[in-house]
């Protein structure tokens, strides 16, 4: 074969290959933007998280089980809550100064497979409940964010339960080093304002990916009444988002059950390693 013909065939082959590559490059579908949802997880409780408070004597003796609770976000996007501009009386008390509609903001991934606050700026907001000013904490809470229930293993019935509101923020990294620095600080939970003016609503609050919010046992609301309960084994259940108001990747990991042994006569509560039997 002559050199000229070889160069002609080689050029043609190169053009065909380049064309095929260009066609593949132009026809390959781009990664579609998708919602970056959080995934709430109730972190397991231990003996160190339990405190039994008792006061009074005889028929007036009161017993309270206090617990430290931690809710983490192991999703692909932050949990972010924002407040409406005006009251809608979502708490039902007729006071326009102490409540706001709560909305959850879901960001969208622009195709780079991970949340980046600088580039993932598209979002959607949806109403998820109520924000209310909490005088005991001097800031605002997402109502009904967690629920604590104590079940009797003997009967399988709940002995007591309570729903609590949270001011959301990044306070711990329970899954190891988080992919981003702390972003949601508790300064975003609003304030009591300056008397005699009304309380100042929050800007936004939330839990970043890889972070968790902790409410200690000494915090108001972190309690279950156990007065008069007989000695025995019980199941303490902590559940995040008990009404499924929030949009998240999974709901199956929102609750955690801790089996405990309660003995009010000896003023003892013990966390057990075995699973609850309900």
* Cβ contacts of 164 within 8 Å, gap of 6 or more: 141, 144, 145, 146, 147, 148, 215, 221, 222
pLDDT of amino acid 137: 85
Smallest CA-to-CA distance from 261 within 236, 232, 238 is with 232
Cβ 260 vs Cβ 236: under 8 Å: yes
Per-residue pLDDT reduced to its tens digit, 221-256: 899 999 999 999 999 999 999 999 999 999 999 999
What is the per-residue pLDDT for 32?
65
Q: Once rounded to an integer, what is the mean pLDDT over residues 15-39?
A: 60
Indicate the domain borders of the chain.
Answer: 1-30, 31-145+160-227
pTM of the shown model: 0.84
Contact status, residue 271 vs residue 234, Cβ threshold 8 Å: no
Q: In which residue are the tokens 């998280």 written?
A: 49
Q: Has residue 175 got a pLDDT over 70?
A: yes
Query: How far apart, in whole angstroms, are the C-alpha atoms of residue 54 and residue 36?
Result: 45
pLDDT in tens, 54-103: 986 665 679 999 999 999 999 999 999 999 999 999 999 999 999 999 99
- What mean pLDDT value characterizes the chain? 88
Query: Which pLDDT band holds residue 19 (cuts at 50, 70, 90)?
Result: very low
Token code pair at residue 48: 């160190």
pLDDT value for 34 = 86
Compute the distance between CA of residue 27 and CA of residue 29 in angstroms, rounded to an integer. Answer: 6
Q: What is the pLDDT of residues 102-144, one digit of tens each?
A: 999 999 998 777 899 999 999 999 999 999 999 888 899 999 9
C-alpha–C-alpha distance, residues 118 and 75, integer Å: 18
CB 167 within 8 A of CB 248: no
> CB atoms < 10 A from the CB of 20, how many?
10
Residues in the chain: 278
Q: How far apart are CA 145 and CA 241, in angstroms?
A: 5
- C-alpha span between 262 and 237 (Å, rounded): 15
């Amino acid at each position: 074969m002559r050199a000229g013909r070889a160069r002609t065939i080689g050029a043609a082959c190169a053009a065909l290959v380049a064309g095929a590559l260009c066609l593949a490059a132009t026809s390959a579908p781009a990664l579609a933007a998708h919602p970056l949802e959080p995934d709430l997880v109730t972190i397991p409780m231990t003996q160190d998280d339990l405190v039994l408070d008792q006061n009074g004597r005889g028929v007036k003796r009161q017993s309270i089980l206090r617990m430290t609770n931690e809710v983490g976000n192991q999703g692909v996007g932050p949990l972010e809550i924002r407040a409406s501009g005006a009251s809608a009386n979502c708490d039902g008390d007729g006071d326009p100064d102490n409540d706001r509609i709560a909305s959850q903001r879901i960001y969208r991934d622009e195709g780079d497979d991970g949340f980046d606050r600088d580039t993932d700026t598209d979002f959607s907001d949806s109403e998820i409940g109520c924000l209310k000013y909490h005088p005991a904490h001097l800031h605002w809470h997402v109502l009904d964010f967690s629920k604590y229930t104590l079940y009797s293993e003997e009967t399988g019935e709940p002995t007591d339960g309570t729903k609590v509101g949270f001011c959301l923020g990044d306070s711990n990294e329970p899954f190891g080093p988080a992919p981003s620095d702390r972003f949601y600080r508790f300064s975003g939970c609003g304030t009591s304002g300056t008397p005699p003016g009304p309380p100042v609503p929050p800007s936004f609050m939330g839990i970043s990916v890889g972070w968790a919010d902790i409410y200690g046992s000494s915090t108001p609301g972190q309690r279950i009444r156990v007065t008069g309960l007989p000695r025995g084994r019980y199941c303490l259940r902590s559940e995040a988002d008990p009404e499924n108001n929030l949009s998240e990747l999974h709901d199956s990991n929102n609750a955690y059950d801790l089996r405990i042994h309660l003995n009010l006569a000896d003023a003892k509560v013990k966390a057990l390693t075995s699973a609850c039997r309900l």
